[in-house]
Amino acid sequence: METKNIALASLFAALYAVLVLVLAPISFQLVQVRVADALIPLSIIFGWPSVVGVTVGCVVSNVISPMPSIIADITFGSIANFIASFLAWKVGGLKYHRNAVNEFLGCLAATAVITFVVGTYLAVMTEMELWVWWLGVGIGSVISINVMGYTLLQVMKKLK
């Protein structure tokens, strides 16, 4: 990675971690509206540095997780962020539809990954019903990724 990309990845990691830590009361709940996840769709514009940044940011922020296993939360949460942002980048960058449609599909793909990966491992860790976690994480992800993240993406495209 060149210097610019390392700086961008570091910026995304720092932003992600700060947003989770400052907003911890809503970042670690059943309906977890991780405002930091609004950064995931930005991988559609910024690509690899954003993917790396939100992944590393998740590692850093999940250190304060109130869940029964911090190691599981760090590991699986970071894997979920990596896959979600990578998929958003690739799906959002497809050229055979209108850009806005692909970008929204990229956001939906990211939401699905976060919902199913995070919801599943949290259900296993807490022994709460799987569908309850899927519903809770899904609602929070729709808010943070599809509403806030998609809006942020559109604003950043206009500024860029």
Q: Quote the number of domains for the chain.
A: 1
Q: What pLDDT does 1 receive? A: 64
Alpha helical stretches, state H, 32-129: 43-46, 48-61, 70-92, 99-126
Tell me, what CATH number does 71's domain have?
Answer: 1.10.1760
Distance, in Å, from the CA atom of 37 to the CA atom of 28, rounded to the nearest integer, reads 12
Q: Is the pTM of this model over 0.85?
A: yes
Give the CA angle between residues 106, 85, 93 to the nearest 5°.
45
Whether 27 and 34 have beta carbons less than 8 Å apart is answered as yes
Query: Contact, 9 vs 49, CB < 8 A?
Result: yes
CB 109 within 8 A of CB 84: yes
Q: Which residues of the chain have pLDDT under 70?
A: 1, 96-98
Q: Which domain holds residue 151?
A: 3-24+32-159
